[in-house]
Structure formats: C-alpha cells, structure tokens
C-alpha cells in the first residue's frame, strides 16, 4: 500500500493505525522511517552484512516505511532500497508513506530507471491512496490568522482531507 499526500494530512497516523490492526490480526509488523531504513542498509552494506540485514527486513509480514521522498536518496541508497523491495516482492507486504507522487519518484531515487524498477514491484499488488487536503497540524494557526489559508486551487479547505483511491489490486 502506498499512502501519498502533502505533509500533515495523516499518512503516518494512518500507517501506524494499520500496523496496529495488523498486529491485532496476528501479523508481525516493523515500522521505520525511510531515512533510518536507508542508513541501516548502507551501514550493513559497508560492514558486509547486507544479506543479513535484508533477511531481517524480510521477516516481518508487514514493513511500514514512513516519509519516503522527504529527502532525496543518493544513488547507492536507491539501489539498496531496490534490493529490499525486490527481496520482499510477493513475500511480504509493504506500506510506504510519501509526500511525493509516484511520477516524482525518479527524482526521489536520483535514478529514473531504479525508480521504475521499484515502482514496478510495489505497484503490482498494491493499493495507492492519495490523501488531499491541508495540514491538520497547521489548522489552529490558520484559524488564528497566523498563516494564510491556501489560495484557490491549492486543495480542499482546512481539515477536509479526503482519501482518493488511485489503483486497486489484491491485498497482500
């Protein structure tokens, strides 16, 4: 599952809730941020323990990767992330949150070819939900006029985030 949308619309909150529900249903779940995940993969690669790390990340039935795309990945990191996605492909579900549309993932991974290979595997059996709306965190600041509301065309009014299913597929 991919949860896409701007900052503050509830992607992380939803991913945690889905992870908790998976645990209650008897699944093993691991939650990590993309930055922490990639740093761990790079460290394991440098220590010649990448296979061991990939095996460990393949064990949970559900792997939640939060905040992919907030910071662009170095080409080496993108290749490491590809190895993880490839290892988990059709064996374990991933839930990824991102503030970037899939069309922007070429820049996130600093390599459109790697991004295409990652998306090919991720989108094959996935559901993509795009959440539109304004940041819940900034709602009070907008009400107090500390910051300006979005201009026309920027999206729905404050607090009116909506879930838009983009693609369907089998549940994993």
Provide the pLDDT for residue 143.
Answer: 74
pLDDT band with cut points at 50, 70 and 90 for residue 97 = very high
Provide the pLDDT for residue 157.
Answer: 43
Phi and psi for 68 in degrees, rounded to 5? -70, 125
Provide the pLDDT for residue 149.
Answer: 63
Number of neighbours of residue 87 by Cβ within 10 angstroms: 14
Residue 90 has pLDDT above 90, yes or no: yes
Q: pTM of the prediction?
A: 0.83
Helices (H), the chain: 11-24, 34-46, 50-58, 75-88, 105-108, 112-124, 139-143
Residue 159 has pLDDT above 70, yes or no: no
Stretch among 16-20, 48-52, 153-157 having the lowest mean pLDDT:
153-157
Residue 160 has pLDDT above 80, yes or no: no
Count the helix, strand and coil residues of the chain and give each as a percent rounded to the nearest 5.
Answer: 45, 20, 40
∠ CA 162-166-167 to the nearest 5 degrees? 145
pLDDT band with cut points at 50, 70 and 90 for residue 150 = low
pLDDT band with cut points at 50, 70 and 90 for residue 168 = very low
Domains in the chain: ranges and CATH: 2-167 (3.40.50.300)
């Amino acid at each position: 599952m991919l949860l896409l949308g701007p900052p503050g619309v509830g992607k992380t909150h939803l991913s945690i809730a889905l992870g908790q529900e998976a645990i209650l249903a008897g699944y093993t779940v691991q939650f990590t941020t993309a930055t922490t995940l990639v740093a761990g993969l790079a460290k394991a690669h440098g220590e010649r323990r990448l296979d061991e790390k990939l095996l460990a990340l393949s064990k949970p039935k559900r792997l939640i990767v939060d905040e992919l795309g907030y910071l662009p990945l170095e080409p080496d990191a993108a290749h490491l992330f590809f190895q993880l996605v490839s290892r988990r492909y059709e064996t374990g579900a991933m839930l990824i949150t991102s503030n970037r549309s899939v069309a922007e993932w070429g820049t996130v991974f600093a390599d459109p070819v790697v991004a295409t290979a990652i998306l090919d595997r991720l989108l094959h059996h996935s559901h993509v939900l795009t959440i539109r709306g304004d940041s819940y965190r900034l709602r009070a600041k907008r009400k107090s006029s500390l910051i300006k509301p979005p201009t026309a065309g920027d999206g729905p009014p404050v607090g009116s985030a909506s879930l838009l299913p983009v693609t369907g597929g089998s549940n994993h």
